[in-house]
Structure 1
Amino acid sequence: MEPLDPWSAENTVDQRELARAETSAAYALGKLDGRLTRLGETEERLFCADLVRRTLLGALTQAGYLDAPERFADWFAGLARGPEHIAEAPSSALGIVRALLSEMARHPWEPLARTAQTLQRCARFVADAIAPSPEEQTRETDATTGALDRARVLVEVLPADADGPLPFAALAALCTAAAHDPAFAPMEAGIRTYDTGETLVALAGLRPITPLWALDVAAGILLAQRTSLARALPMPGLFTTERLLLAHAPDRQALALAHALEVATTAHLAALDTARTRAALLTQRLAGLRRSSRAGEAWILLAGFAPLGLDQLMDAIGVSRRGTYAVSAALTEAGLAERQSRQGKVLLVAIERARANEIPGPVFTGALGTAVDEFDEAMADLDRLLARTGSQEVTGT
């Protein structure tokens, strides 16, 4: 019998390398799981705002909209059109964003669902230059929500594995199932022909893109079901066409998935660190404001998601036009935001120039004090009116 050559098979990888990769990923998952259960309220909301943004940008990038990170803020504020559409994209950028916001608005984790609902109210996404017909809109909605539903089904039908809370066998099974599913399977590149006037030239086109971003969302459900995570967090960037194409090489696929899972988990851990720093900064800078002030709520969206216009602020935190001026003044005076004028529209943009332990306490000037006093007086009038109305209802007068 010939001695076994461990490098002779295409599928073979160093098992020690695979074990190290899975151990590192499992350690990162355990660390993330522990930190998710010890979040303060402000950290939680900051993390959720950032998570929604990263999930949307990850999905758009995977769908072929590579310019989404640069265009997203102005697009969300209604100042510019969205990412450039490409022929290989499975759906429009707006369709993907709407589907994901609707999905996260129903998430079982209440802070994430509440954040997505808030962003749905205040979004001002600019539609494409040529509006699709109602039939096209229906088809796109069916395609995007259908991808999410199909990904969820693939997770639900996965067999139970013997790894316990470790998700590696289940992730590999999900990857293999997706590689053979019509909704996600990699598609062959088409052929494009061009008539030069003298001859026909045939060129290989780009491979059509399948909605793998839906699998990234479903992976969070899988991790929660396997008790690997306390929350069903989306895992942007976990599934790629290259990893699906490794279905014929299970060990290589397992190694690639372990590395990708560690990268996605580490991104969540970094976001939690950022949320903690921002929460400390917010608490210190706004220590002088009354508890009912909406300034902190507004800054969470500014810092975690994107700049907001004053009209968006009204819908996001439920204040009047006059209230937006008080919130804007408070954040500007505290050094947490600045007003920028873009295309005739005023935007509030978050500022994070120093850490909380390097910042002196807020010193409010007379201008800010006047604005805050007016806001407090208006809130007090409202409180008195509500109290008087309640008394009348109780006494029947």
Structure 2
Amino acid sequence: MSAESTPEPGITEPATTGPQRRGGGRRRKAAVPGKRRKALLATAWAAAGVVVLGGTGLGYVYFKLNGNLKSVDINQALGDERPTKIDNGSENILVLGSDTRSGKNRKLGGGTDDGSARSDTAMIVHVYKGHKKASVVSVPRDTLIDRPACTDTKGGSHPAASGVMFNSAYSTGGAACAVKTVESLSGIRMDHYLEVDFAGFQKLIDDLGGVPVTTTKAIADPQSHLNLKAGTHTLDGERSLALVRTRHGVGDGSDLGRIQLQQAFVKALLDRAEHVGVLSSPKKLYDLADTATKAVTTDSDLGSVNALADFAGGLKGIGSSHMRMVTMPVRYDPADPNRVLLQKAKAERIWTALKNDRPIPASATKDTAAGGAKGVVSG
């Protein structure tokens, strides 16, 4: 059987796919700061997706926000054995939602402060030449893959493994091994890395004043503690986090259905960020930038306020209507309903399109496992 018989370290509980129900899930988002008082409001992603903000250029504020940032040197860890960087004006960013079981994330992650970390949300964001539109490819955490050997950012070596869950890459070797695994799967070099945690995501939503969403049917999931009637809601941080973690009572109960909810929420979050009006309140802007910079971990190239602000500025023209979101083509594993298998030929159509800075063809996602939750949530 291709599924691992013993869970890898840091792997979440099995999730049931297909007609069965599964358990557990996570997710979150990212953000940023920037230059003058006339701040820029732009878009980027994390956990899902998310928000990148510009802050003020005042000295104290700059150093305070700069001190919030955490970064990892992906380039040094991975060395030269990587796909060739494609110089066509496009950019590829790996966005992870991390479930670190320590500190403020202890309660959100289930109450166990064991210091472990998981990545239950992964999105490959391709920003097209001209930075006016983007494609986002969600990678299901339960996909069985061949994980390449990798070196983490502390110099530790991790051997290759066959038939393991995709999210084992992060729990085994952190950000560098996650990037290495995505590059091995896709053949595409990741230009940047963004990671957001539970606690930061929840507080960011609260600082934004909540995110309006509309549900076409009631959602009741005792495991994520989400209970929404059909209709329009403004979700605070706690309920937003519950929504992007929920899988029960929606679609087929699988992680694939949860991905569809996450994608819809990311678009709603981008719309909210564009219209929140933070420019009218310097304090609100600072609070958002402070929360965002504490929540996000980046690659070292984005590891400063100025670098993040410049990066955000390059994305400011991309709104939800200019973003296509798909799920990496998979099928349910007949040997284990808790896992999915990559549809390699269809996935290759996606990777080829992105390498050539072209739109993802509809044929790449036709007749693939989906989750059945599309259209349940909208912005």
TM-score normalised per structure 1? 0.24
Larger RCO, structure (CA 8 Å, separation 6 or more) = 2
Larger strand share, 1 or 2: 2
More helix by proportion, 1 or 2? 1
TM-score for the superposition, normalised by structure 2 = 0.24
